Chains A and B, each alone.
Chain A
Amino acid sequence: MSSGRGKREAENGRCNINVVQLEGLALMKIIKHCHEEGAGNTEVAQGVLLGLVVDERLEITNCFPFPRHADDVDEEDYQLEMMRHLRKVNVDHLSVGWYQSTQLGNFITTQLLESQFSYQTSIEESVVLIYDPIKTARGFLSIKAYRLTPEAINIVQERDYTPEALKKGRLGFETLFQEIRLVIKNSHLVNTLLTELYEFMPGSEGKQFLDLGTMSTLDRQLRCLMENVDDLSQEANKFNNFQRQNAKQLQDKHKFMQKRAAENAQRQARGEPPLPEEDINKQFKPIAPLPRLDAMITSGQIYNYCKQVSQFCSQSLGKLYVAKALQQEKK
């Protein structure tokens, strides 16, 4: 998703975004779009965020979704059209990022990396908002803002994911993305509407997060976790193979050199000219170092899952303790 238009002059030095401020309207639009789009698909719902940057705050005031199944609609054109129309109705039309839905936190992928990279290089301050509709349906609003760290940007720019480059750039799976604090802000007008809506809203529906049943979510989360761990172990295997091959090659090289040296010594003893020094490297082609991108991404994903599972378990434990306390009261 490259945005060719609107290349702002990149500020010299880093841009510091400490907090992302989201309008209630944008949040509800994201929720609605992801809800209508998602519902059981594995595809993600995506869209663009619009807003402004004020000091160290990135204010997101509006958003619009991307068409999903329309392959004949050119993405850039659609975006431009949409922004033009929005400008006419006096809505903020400067793009400051994009959003994506996820299922139980499986959003750390290479595509995300690439997309966020292209966004961040063209618009310095862009963020990606990750919204989890499944978790929100269970009762906990789950929306987070991420940016690529400067180290990550450097590495992705070079497209060089060998271990040496990663070590030099100090990039690990934890330093790929940085999470930014997100706050929700509403104008006074919206607040008045909210007070009105409060009367209207069915009071009993917002309480489903007090449900004690944990097994279904836990089951799914653990399944995803297991798949990722399997992927990571495959990567580890690949790496081990690479190591072994490398070691073997090194050994072979040594042997060859020793043989050479011995032969040369013999020849010298006999007074014949030594054999020409062949280029060893041509004979033993160095094996290309393994790119660590997939492993890093999978590790990051696993880390994320673990964090989520811990959070989920902690709140379930809390609920169980509450139930226990109530039970004891009854006694």
Chain B
Amino acid sequence: MAGTVTVPGSSVPSTPLLKDELDIVIPTIRNLDFLEMWRPFFQPYHLIIVQDGDPTKTIKVPEGFDYELYNRNDINRILGPKASCISFKDSACRCFGYMVSKKKYIYTIDDDCFVAKDPTGKDINALEQHIKNIMSPSTPFFFNTLYDPYREGADFVRGYPFSLREGTHTAVSHGLWLNIPDYDAPTQLVKPKERNERYVDAVMTIPKGTLFPMCGMNLCFDRDLIGPAMYFGLMGDGQPIGRYDDMWAGWCVKVICDHLSLGVKTGLPYIWHSKASNPFVNLRKEYKGIFWQEDIIPFFQNVTIPKDCDTVQKCYLYLSGEVKEKLGKIDPYFVKLADAMVTWIEAWDELNPATPAAENGKAK
């Protein structure tokens, strides 16, 4: 059957490929050799490559991939003065790719992430699992002890209210990593040899009201439902902080998803993370973030988005106001960030004019 991935000899319904509905966004400064390993899984899809760093350098894309590539000059040209909200010299620039995409779903992956193997030794088709996650409902209102009840072989357990078994739309599918785990700099320094070797065969919904550290290495989301909230902040060159781009997006996304009754899943699929970044460099980037997050987390835990914010953009603009007022006291960086959040929404709306029938993330 065209357009689907079939499991030979199995009665499991096949997962649709969604090749015309999903873009793969990859930030890179070096090269895209890693795509060779992903070729069997990624080749059907359109790639959006966001080239960070020196725009005069040519990034070689392996043959046979359908892609568009944007470097800093392109970003400046397309966004004009609004380009100031896109980070420079940091993989946070990938969110530009989210903005220019015209598809419903985005999958983003780092260029040091490879195909992992499951415990039987079989290659893991990460994209297929993300699609399964995002196309099945989430269950944020009550924790199911057997994890994702929509997975093959699982279900809701005894005691799960029937009125909650329809679930909510899934906005985000957060995958994990084998080998080099996503640790912060202090943990990397203390445990440089630790490798994540445990394959946890589960997907689960993160409960409503619970924040989590969202990693951008292996992430899939529904652009229609939550896209405007996936701003990866101001990081890198000229900024006091780095390696908090995905974290920031994750906190904003979760608060807005909770408000709009959308679901966030985490767990499978795993990818193989091959490169450990330099912990001393990381420490310098994360340093301020480690202290600031002590205030940032309570901020997100306590923020209440007003009922009349019924689109992602409205929620996000409300958040930016709160960031400026409440976090601006900690450091002027947050005032800049709040302004950038507004610029981002303006740029998003400009590049993605809403048709009356398709307002982003409208609550059910």
Q: Is B a genuine binding partner of A?
A: no
User: Taking beta carbons and an 8 Å cutoff, which residues of A are in contact with B?
Assistant: none
